[in-house]
Chains A and B, each alone.
Chain A
Amino acid sequence: METFAFYFFAVSITALFAVTVWSKNILYAMTSLAAGMVLISGLFFILGADFLGVVQLIVYVGAVMALYSFAMMFFDATGEIKEKHSHPGLVFLLGGLSAVVMVVIFAAPVIGASAPSFYPPVEGATNPQAVGLVLFTKYLVPFEVAAVMLLVAMIAGIILAGKKMDTSITEVTDDIGDTNERI
């Protein structure tokens, strides 16, 4: 059952992400990306990382994808994206090569198989409890730093995107410069 679930998720995620990468329509791409993210949380649940799975759902699907969808309202996302692909062969060569190399690396027996376990889960605790214990004891400082980072990012996002929000894009002329520059 677990095996079946893994392969199901694996194949679906790969397919969805492939759609994201190859789709010409930005909406399709985003939708398939969001779907892929949801399925990845499924993988996390299989692995027993319940808390991570939930976080994946909330942050990625809930927050990040919502952010993308809102951002897309600023862009013209309805039509197909026209992209010039100068060397399509090269892309596949590089992508294929990287896949082969990484598969070779990971297919090899993991060298650190006998590596010591620094923070094994506490006996009898559920996954979120165990995660909480480690996160708020051993990783407290990085956690706080990450919090500050998120705050900074939030403010930066607001400032960057929110400036001159009151004027319509088409009417902003001062820093667009010569309209001929628009292509």
Chain B
Amino acid sequence: MVGLNEYLILSAILFSIGVVGVIRRKNLLMLFFATEIMLNAANIAFAAISSYHNDLTGQMFAFFIVAVAASEVAVGLGLLILIYKKYGTLDLDNFTVLKG
């Protein structure tokens, strides 16, 4: 029988993959992908806890996370398009206007 811990550890591993993506990737679009991975990892944890605790609150939160993710993608992609129009690239190494 699969326990709650297995789900949580899976969630942790997926989240870490997301973290690696976030810090490794230089392409903004790939950064977005990595963020999606992290959000999904969180969703798995919520759904698992909801199921094992017999409490719907976890699922509710998962819904809202899905909604947030959808909004984020909509706005974020719009911004990405603007950036691409302006600079012709999505590589983070080219955006260093805030260099101190």
A and B directly contacting (CB within 8 A): yes
A residues lining the B interface (CB < 8 Å): 2-3, 6, 10, 13-14, 17-18, 20-21, 26, 29-30, 33, 36-37, 40, 43-44, 47-49, 51-52, 55-56, 59-60, 63-64, 67-68, 71-72, 74-75, 81-85, 88, 90-92, 94-96, 98-99, 102-103, 105-107, 110, 115, 117-121, 130-131, 134-135, 138-139, 142, 146, 149-150, 152-154, 156-161, 164, 169, 172, 175-177, 181-183
Contact: B69 with A71, CB < 8 Å?
Answer: no
Distance in Å from the Cβ of A171 to the closest Cβ of chain B? 11
Contact: B67 with A146, CB < 8 Å?
Answer: yes
Q: Which residue of B33, B55, B71 contacts A152 across the interface (Cβ within 8 Å)? A: B71
Contact: A21 with B20, CB < 8 Å?
Answer: yes
**Which residues 38-75 of B sit at the A interface, judged by CB distance below 8 A?**
40, 43-45, 47-48, 50-51, 53-57, 59-60, 62-64, 66-75
Distance in Å from the Cβ of B21 to the closest Cβ of chain A? 4
Which residues of A have CB within 8 Å of B77? 67-68, 71, 157, 161
Contact: A75 with B29, CB < 8 Å?
Answer: yes
Q: Interface residues of B, CB < 8 Å — how many?
A: 76
**Which of A67, A71, A130, A156 is most buried by chain B, counting CB atoms within 10 A of its CB?**
A71
Q: From A3, which residue of chain B is reached at the shortest CB distance?
A: B2
- Known contacts A49-B47, A160-B79; is-contact A150 B67 (Cβ 8 Å): yes
Contact: A103 with B74, CB < 8 Å?
Answer: no
Q: From B81, which residue of chain A is reached at the shortest CB distance?
A: A161
Majority secondary structure of chain A interface residues (helix, strand, loop or mixed): helix
Contact: B20 with A55, CB < 8 Å?
Answer: no
Contact: A99 with B57, CB < 8 Å?
Answer: no
Which residues of A have CB within 8 Å of B12? 99, 102-103, 105-106
Contact: B43 with A103, CB < 8 Å?
Answer: no
Distance in Å from the Cβ of A130 to the closest Cβ of chain B? 6
Which residues of B have CB within 8 Å of A119? 55-57, 60
Which residues of B have CB within 8 Å of A146? 63-64, 67-68
Distance in Å from the Cβ of A10 to the closest Cβ of chain B? 5
Q: From A95, which residue of chain B is reached at the shortest CB distance?
A: B20
Contact: B33 with A20, CB < 8 Å?
Answer: yes
Which residues of B have CB within 8 Å of A82? 91
Contact: A83 with B91, CB < 8 Å?
Answer: yes
Report 21 cross-chain contacts, Cβ distance below 8 Å, ordered by A residue. Answer: A10-B6, A14-B14, A17-B14, A17-B17, A20-B37, A21-B24, A37-B40, A49-B51, A52-B62, A56-B43, A67-B74, A74-B81, A75-B80, A94-B23, A103-B12, A118-B55, A118-B57, A146-B67, A152-B71, A153-B72, A182-B88
